Amino acid sequence: MSEPESAIVGVDFTPTTLRLILSELDGEILRQEEHPLPELDDEAAWAWEVGGRISTLFASEGGKRYALAIGVACPGTVDPVSGRIEECLANDEWEGLNVVASLRQHIDAPVVALARVEAALRGEAALGNAAGTFDAMYVSLVDGPAAAILTSGRILGGAHHRAGGLPAFPELESDRPLIGEDLEQATALLADLACLVDPSVVIIHGLPEHADALRPVLQRVLNEVLPGAQVAPGALGDRAALIGALKAAAIVAYEGERADDES
């Protein structure tokens, strides 16, 4: 019987949905899954649910694969060192959730946790509308809203892991289009941020009633104040954070490979 081969895992979760992707290190996708995420009472319940889904993902490969690394896109601000969610606007009960430590109790592989908006930027930079650029801005109207910034090929984290926060963004409601003063306020805020970081592309992701209204208005403003910057939709849509989590797993996968070499 041949020895199992390595694979990396990308995980993306929101209060209602869990997405998983299994891939070889070279990028060949082996399996993708999406599951509804039930209400989870505590960190242990979260770890059993998500860890169990990851284990089932590998079991579906018939024991032919093992986890080399896992990347997790989280709905909130994440401490990249501890792998803990510091602030979660989507679910207050997840604040303090130690994503890395809780998964490591179930799966013996390197785990990296990052904010969904940062993961989405990584995804778009790898396979989407920010591919081939070194300076980009990704704006999610469903996560916060918040932005992530790629400058000189590196994602800006900030002193408190909150770079890209948009506290002055107008409140968005799914049943109300972005118009009038709210649209002007959102455009002015994003135009100021874009002028500060000078991206080649600004990706706006969100519900059509919000994103479709914002993109052309922001483009007209940037044509005046930041010529050359392009405003675009996300090419990967809701999959961007999942792909970005997978790319983050690939970065830390060398730890798993090193452990294999030392064993």
Q: How many angstroms separate the CA atoms of 108 and 146, rounded? A: 32
List strands edge to edge, sheet with 201-205: 154-155, 146-151, 136-140, 201-205, 230-233
Answer yes or no: is 18 within a domain: yes
Is the pLDDT at 256 greater than 70, yes or no? no
Q: Is residue 121 part of a domain?
A: no
Higher-confidence residue: 92 or 219?
Answer: 219
Query: Residue 91: what pLDDT?
Result: 83
Number of domains in the chain: 2
Residues 52, 139 share a domain: no
Residue range(s) defining the domain that contains residue 110: 5-116+239-262
**What does the mean pLDDT of the chain come to?**
93
Cross-strand partners of 148: 138
Residue 227 region by backbone torsions, left for phi larger than 0, else alpha for psi between -120 and 50, else beta:
beta
Average pLDDT for 104-126: 95
The pLDDT of residue 62: 87
Please determine, for residue 218, whether its predicted confidence score (pLDDT) is greater than 70. Answer: yes
